[in-house]
Amino acid sequence: MKAKTLKAGDRIGPRQQHNWDWRAASNFIAGGAGGGLLFFAALASLAGIDVRALLLGGMALIGAGLTCVWFEIGKPWRALNVYRHLATSWMTREAAVAPLVFVCGALALLTGHSIFVLLTGVFGAAFVYAQARILSADKGIPAWRHARCRPMLVATGFAEGAALVAVAAPFVMTSAAGQIAVAAVTLGLLLIRVLLWRSYLAGLRADGAPEGSLRALAAVDGQFLKFGNLLPAALLLVAALGAPLAGLALIPAGLIAVGGGWLVKYTLVRRAAFTQGFALPHLPVRGRGPAGAAVKPGWGGAS
Amino acid sequence: MTRYVMAIDLRRCVGCQTCTAACKNANATPPGVQWRRVLDIETGEFPDVRRSFVPVACMHCDEPPCEEVCPTTATKKRADGLVTIDYDTCIGCANCVMACPYEARSIVHEAKFAYGDTPIKSEEVRFDPARIGVSMKCTFCVDRIDEAARTGQVPGRDPEVTPACVNSCISGAMSFGDIDDPNSNVSRLLAETQSFRMHEELGTGPGVYYIWDKG
Q: Which domains does chain A have, with CATH numbers?
A: 16-274 (1.20.1630.10)
Choose between A170 and A291: higher pLDDT.
Answer: A170
User: Quick check: A177 pLDDT over 60?
Assistant: yes
Q: What is the pLDDT of residue A240?
A: 85
Mean pLDDT of B161-180: 98
* CA–CA dist A88, A79 (Å, integer): 18
Contact at CB, A285 and B212, closer than 8 angstroms:
yes
Residue in B91, B102, B204 closest to A73 by CB:
B91
User: Quick check: A12 pLDDT over 50?
Assistant: yes
Residues of A in contact with B67 (CB under 8 A): 88
Q: Is B87's Cβ below 8 Å from some Cβ in A?
A: no
| SS3 label, residue B109 | coil
Choose between B124 and A108: higher pLDDT.
Answer: A108
pLDDT digits (tens, 9 = 90+) for A248-274: 899 999 999 999 999 999 999 999 999
Q: Are B193 and B9 in contact (CB under 8 A)?
A: yes
Q: Is A209's Cβ below 8 Å from some Cβ in B?
A: no
Q: What is the pLDDT of residue B155?
A: 97
**CA-based nearest distance B150→chain A, Å:** 31
CA distances from A123 to A50, A128, A262 (A): 19, 9, 21
Mean pLDDT of A236-245: 82
* CA–CA dist B103, A139 (Å, integer): 11
Helix (H) or strand (E) run with residue B40 in it: strand B37-45
Confidence of residue A11 (pLDDT cuts 50, 70, 90): confident
* CA–CA dist A141, A276 (Å, integer): 6
Q: Provide the 10 A C-beta neighbour count for residue B32.
A: 8
Q: Is A18's Cβ below 8 Å from some Cβ in B?
A: no
Q: Is A173 exposed, middle or buried (0-12, 13-18, 19+ CB in 10 A)?
A: buried
Portion 140-179 of B in contact with A at CB < 8 A: none
Mean pLDDT of A212-229: 97
| SS3 label, residue A205 | helix
> Which residues, in sequence order, are CB contacts of A56 under 8 Å at separation 6+?
A105, A109
Confidence of residue A7 (pLDDT cuts 50, 70, 90): very low
User: Quick check: A173 pLDDT over 60?
Assistant: yes
User: Quick check: A247 pLDDT over 60?
Assistant: yes
> Which residues, in sequence order, are CB contacts of A287 under 8 Å at separation 6+?
none
Q: Is A287's Cβ below 8 Å from some Cβ in B?
A: no
To test the contact with chain A by mutation, choose from B17, B20, B34, B41 the residue with the greatest count of A C-beta atoms within 10 A, namely: B41
Q: Is B40's Cβ below 8 Å from some Cβ in A?
A: yes
* CA–CA dist A9, A105 (Å, integer): 52
Confidence of residue A6 (pLDDT cuts 50, 70, 90): very low
User: Quick check: A8 pLDDT over 80?
Assistant: no
Q: Are B106 and B33 in contact (CB under 8 A)?
A: yes
Chain A CA closest to residue B11: A284
Confidence of residue B44 (pLDDT cuts 50, 70, 90): confident
Q: What is the pLDDT of residue A9?
A: 52
Confidence of residue A10 (pLDDT cuts 50, 70, 90): low
Q: Is B10's Cβ below 8 Å from some Cβ in A?
A: yes
Q: Taking the model in full, what pTM does it have?
A: 0.94
Residues of A in contact with B208 (CB under 8 A): none
Q: Is A67's Cβ below 8 Å from some Cβ in B?
A: no
Contact at CB, B134 and A8, closer than 8 angstroms:
no
Confidence of residue B129 (pLDDT cuts 50, 70, 90): very high
User: Quick check: B195 pLDDT over 70?
Assistant: yes
To test the contact with chain B by mutation, choose from A4, A6, A17, A19 the residue with the greatest count of B C-beta atoms within 10 A, namely: A19
Taken in order of first residue, the domains within chain B and their CATH numbers are 4-214 (3.30.70.20)
pLDDT digits (tens, 9 = 90+) for A185-195: 999 999 999 99
Average pLDDT score, chain B: 96
Chain B CA closest to residue A273: B98
Q: What is the pLDDT of residue A303?
A: 59
Portion 117-136 of B in contact with A at CB < 8 A: 132-134
User: Quick check: B170 pLDDT over 80?
Assistant: yes
Q: Is the peptide bond before B47 cis (omega within 30 degrees of 0)?
A: yes
Q: How many CB pairs under 8 A join A and B?
A: 166
Helices (H) and strands (E) in chain B, counts: 7, 10
Confidence of residue A175 (pLDDT cuts 50, 70, 90): confident
